[in-house]
């Protein structure tokens, strides 16, 4: 069993009010660059669409348990398709100023019953370089809100206690279309495609992935058990379905879409990211379906993986074959019971009822609206 929590039905256990914002915060941004629909941060777009037609949505804010502010904060892409988060703090601040002046609900809790989807590399710290993200920290005005984010690393300034960690977006229809017969032999022992060095941003090779990816390449590039390369073949999805183990090392952040792809394609994820907080960790038995390797132990990967007994491998593969496990990692359109949308709702439902302490006394203020870099305070 994958655990009862995967089967939870949040409908009837919570009500969500969706703020209606001017289209400049969402739809117009998407119209400008439709590529946002398919990049790994697209959960913010699909979560908005899902909630608009979800049975948990309420049109009466007085009965709402949670309030959702639909901002497409990652939909600012470079010509090569990389999301730049630099405008995000100004967008978020502008949207909160709008809802706090147009509705009474933000002001009574300063956002403690509000949630935001912030799927950047370092969540609501809004920077793709860790030292810059840490320097800014989570935006002060989001400190009391619940953050739904892909970033998850224990004891990190960019992860609030109480955040809901979600998987990055991977295109469900595309993955479904590339399924191969279930009885295809898994003839690849270890599989990985991706960067080992980020030459443009880390020319000396020791900082990117804290050196873990470089260690994979240096130790196993000539090992016949390891099918690893920087080339991204057209058969990438099919190859994962032919592999027993799929490496899921950290990059600039602890996670990558490979985690989703490995689970969906039944390839045992080898998670190399110290202190990672995994998506929906209260619902998905990661210890049972994956293999965890410390970053410092990467040079021993071959010994670690070849020493796993066949019966343990088979048990992990059987768990990965559970359709509910795969569904929990995906954001399908239309939504399906138990999918990632519903796991987010389950996370919100488990945080209810709100404690009385979240409500402020008349005139009480906790958050500092003017905290943060000067650039974040500019109008948007």
Look-up of token digits 């390839």: 267
326 pLDDT tier (thresholds 50, 70, 90): very high
* Residue pLDDT, tens place only, 295-315: 999 999 999 999 999 999 999
Q: Tell me which of 126-135, 152-161, 225-234, 270-279 is least confident.
A: 126-135
Cα–Cα separations (whole angstroms), residue 14 to 76, 116, 147, 148, 351: 32, 16, 17, 16, 10
Quote the pLDDT of residue 307: 98
Q: Is 55 exposed, middle or buried (0-12, 13-18, 19+ CB in 10 A)?
A: exposed
Quote the pLDDT of residue 1: 46
* Residue pLDDT, tens place only, 11-64: 899 999 999 999 999 999 999 999 999 999 999 999 999 999 999 999 999 999
Identify the DSSP state of 155.
T
Work out the average pLDDT over 352-377. Answer: 92
Coil, strand, or helix at residue 229? strand
Q: What share of the chain is helix, strand, coil (3-state, %, to 5)?
A: 40, 10, 50
* Residue pLDDT, tens place only, 155-177: 999 999 899 999 999 999 999 99
State phi, psi for 146 to the nearest 5 degrees.
Answer: -90, 130
What is the CA 232 to chain-centroid distance, rounded? 22
CATH code that applies to domain 172-329:
3.40.50
Mean of the per-residue pLDDT values for the chain?
A: 93
Let me know: does 199 contact 184? Beta carbons within 8 Å.
Answer: no
Quote the pLDDT of residue 206: 67
200 pLDDT tier (thresholds 50, 70, 90): confident
3 pLDDT tier (thresholds 50, 70, 90): low
Every domain range in the chain assigned CATH 3.40.50: 172-329
Joined tokens for residue 186: 């898994």
Work out the average pLDDT over 85-107. Answer: 95
Instruction: With CA atoms as reference, report the closest residue to 43 among 123, 143, 114.
Output: 123
Quote the pLDDT of residue 238: 97
Residues above pLDDT 70, as percent of the chain: 97
Is pLDDT above 70 for 203?
Answer: no
Instruction: With CA atoms as reference, report the closest residue to 347 among 134, 213, 162.
Output: 162
Contacts of 168 (CB under 8 A, 6+ apart): 40, 41, 43, 119, 150, 255, 256, 257, 259, 260
Coil, strand, or helix at residue 232? coil
Q: How far apart are CA 373 and CA 380, in angstroms?
A: 15
Quote the pLDDT of residue 205: 60
Q: How far apart are CA 335 and CA 340, in angstroms?
A: 9
Work out the average pLDDT over 360-364. Answer: 92
Q: How far apart are CA 176 and CA 237, in angstroms?
A: 10
């Amino acid at each position: 069993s994958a655990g009862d929590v995967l089967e939870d039905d949040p409908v009837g256990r919570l009500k969500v009010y969706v703020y209606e914002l001017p289209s400049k915060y969402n739809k117009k941004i998407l119209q400008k660059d439709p590529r946002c629909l398919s990049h790994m941060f697209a959960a913010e777009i699909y979560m908005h669409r899902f909630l608009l037609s979800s049975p948990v949505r309420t049109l009466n804010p007085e009965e709402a348990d949670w309030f959702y502010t639909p901002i497409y904060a990652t939909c600012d892409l470079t010509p090569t398709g990389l999301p730049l988060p630099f405008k995000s703090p100004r967008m978020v601040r502008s949207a909160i100023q709008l809802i706090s002046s147009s509705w009474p609900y933000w002001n009574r809790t300063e956002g403690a019953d509000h949630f935001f989807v912030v799927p950047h590399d370092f969540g609501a710290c809004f920077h793709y370089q860790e030292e810059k993200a840490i320097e800014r920290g989570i935006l002060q005005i989001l400190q009391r809100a619940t953050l739904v984010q892909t970033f998850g690393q224990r004891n990190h300034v960019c992860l609030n206690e109480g955040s809901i960690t979600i998987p990055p977006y991977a295109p469900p229809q595309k993955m479904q279309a590339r399924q191969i017969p279930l009885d295809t032999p898994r003839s690849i022992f270890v599989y990985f495609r991706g960067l080992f060095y980020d030459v443009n941003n880390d020319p000396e090779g020791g900082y990117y992935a804290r050196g873990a990816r470089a260690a994979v390449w240096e130790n196993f590039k000539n090992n016949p058990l390891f099918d690893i390369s920087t080339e991204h073949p057209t058969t990438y999805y099919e190859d994962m379905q032919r592999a027993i183990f799929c490496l899921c090392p950290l990059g600039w952040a602890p996670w990558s879409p490979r985690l989703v792809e490995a689970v969906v394609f039944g390839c045992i994820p080898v998670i190399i990211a110290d202190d990672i907080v995994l998506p929906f960790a209260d619902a998905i038995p990661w210890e049972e379906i994956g293999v965890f390797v410390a970053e410092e132990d990467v040079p021993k990967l071959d010994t670690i993986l070849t020493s796993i007994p066949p019966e343990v491998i088979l048990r992990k593969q059987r768990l990965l074959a559970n359709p509910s496990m795969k569904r929990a990692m995906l954001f399908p359109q239309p939504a399906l019971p138990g999918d990632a949308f519903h796991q987010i709702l389950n996370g919100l439902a488990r945080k209810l009822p709100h404690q009385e302490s979240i409500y402020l006394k008349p005139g009480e203020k906790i958050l500092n609206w003017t905290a943060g870099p000067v650039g974040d305070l500019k109008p948007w």
